[in-house]
Chain A
Amino acid sequence: MEKAEKKWRWGFHRWIVLALIILNVVAVNLYAPVQPHIQVAAENIITEPLFTLPVIGDFYLTNSLIATILMYIVIILIALAVRNSWKKNPVAPKGIAGVFEMLVDMIYNMTETTAGKYAAKVFPWFASIVIVLLFANLMKLIPGFESIGVLRHSEHGYEIQALGNGTWSTLLNKEAHNGGYTLVPFLRGVSTDLNFTTALALIAVVMIQVIGVQANGVRYFEKFINVRNIFKKPLFGVIDFIVGLLELISEFAKILSFTFRLFGNMFSGMVLLAVVGVMIPVFLPSGLMLFEVFIGVIQALVFGMLTMVFMAQATQGHGAEEEQK
């Protein structure tokens, strides 16, 4: 009896998918997707700067800034919910707290196996980066991101058509000959903004150094400016010194690497979705969406895990301890 019901359910889902595909075809024929204007920098929603600071310069309200603020508000609200849920039921948290607990447990175990006794110091950064990036990467897949915004005059714009009473309009896939419109979305994927990824990379690399100093004291910097052997064994000392300089460069390379790995993955995902969505608007973007979910989770884990591994490496002493062995 139950088996038959299950079979019926499967058929039900299949028909839902088929109906959605047909709806998709109809919708695409009614309003064809428009190639969005792709640019690396976040778009300004208001053309005038909000305020101008003396050193920093003009400050615009960009769409990724709105998305960032929204994301942090969501994260902090969820943290509050977890805290309340934990206070209510510390033994077996339910709902979102249970999910968070599972995640935190997993991340903590991972940290402990790699970082050992410095796990308590490394863990908050690792976990924060993973959680923030999970939200940042997955929020951009919510419908409405990068598709709802303000219209702006442009040289290579598209014609528009009013919807309803004229408050809302839609772009048409028809190039306007003189002065069409382009869309500036309200929300844009947080991690497709270089400022966000750079900020995270800077924090990660700075915290790697901080944890290294906490673990090894001032000796940590011997790793970079290695003059210990330069008088005892001149040749190898010089080589050590150069290796130390390379380490210093590699720290800056880490910033670049962190920044552009995350940005490249997310931005390429955005471009891919936009381009494929215009070219083959039916069915294929669904698969790409799933792939983007995967990529987003993997990149969040990779960013966090790399931070954690580098921090663990920084806690392990460099040359001095090796020589003592």
Chain B
Amino acid sequence: MSGDIVMAAKMIGAGLAMIGALGGGIGVGLSVQGAVQGMARNPDTYGNLLSSMILGIAFSEAIAIYCLVIAFLMLFVV
């Protein structure tokens, strides 16, 4: 019985942890928006913008990934 409650709490906790992915998604969308606008205005900077964009995406995606890791830890480790 108590094990089931713990299991349920783990699941709920993992789900709650994934709320943080919201911020990461917004961040990725914003950075891609900015980069694509820049590319559209000045197509010559395509290469520079692409690498900067991937870096920025990696940074903001990291937040979502941390949430995912926490969720995994709750599901599989704790």
Contact = CB atoms under 8 A, between A and B. Distances in A.
Interface of A: 38-40, 110, 257, 260-261, 263-265, 267-268, 271, 298-299, 301-302, 305-306, 309
B18 to A, nearest CB: 11
B62 A110 contact: no
B7 to A, nearest CB: 12
20 contacts: A39-B76, A40-B72, A40-B77, A110-B51, A260-B65, A260-B66, A261-B58, A264-B62, A264-B65, A264-B68, A265-B65, A267-B69, A268-B65, A268-B72, A305-B51, A305-B55, A305-B58, A306-B55, A306-B58, A309-B55
Interface residues of B, number: 15
A261 B65 contact: yes
Q: What does DSSP make chain A's interface, helix, strand, loop or mixed?
A: helix
A306 B58 CA distance: 9
Contacts of B66: 260, 264
B34 to A, nearest CB: 18
Contacts of B69: 260, 263-264, 267
A263 B69 CA distance: 8
B19 interface: no
Contacts, number: 46
B40 interface: no
B6 interface: no
A12 B54 CA distance: 37
Interface of B: 51, 54-55, 58, 61-62, 65-66, 68-69, 72-73, 75-77
B72 A271 contact: yes
Contacts of B61: 261
Contact of B62 (A40, A257, A268): A257
Contacts of A265: 65
A260 B54 CA distance: 17
B72 A298 contact: no
Contacts of A267: 69, 72
A186 B75 CA distance: 23
A38 B76 CA distance: 7
Nearest to B66: A260
Given A264-B72, A268-B72, 14 more contacts: A38-B75, A39-B77, A40-B72, A40-B73, A110-B51, A260-B65, A261-B58, A264-B62, A264-B66, A299-B58, A302-B54, A302-B58, A305-B51, A305-B55
Interface centre among A264, A298, A305 (most CB of B within 10 A): A264
B51 A260 contact: no
Contacts of B68: 264, 268
B65 A298 contact: no
Nearest to B69: A264
Nearest to A109: B47
Contacts of A301: 54
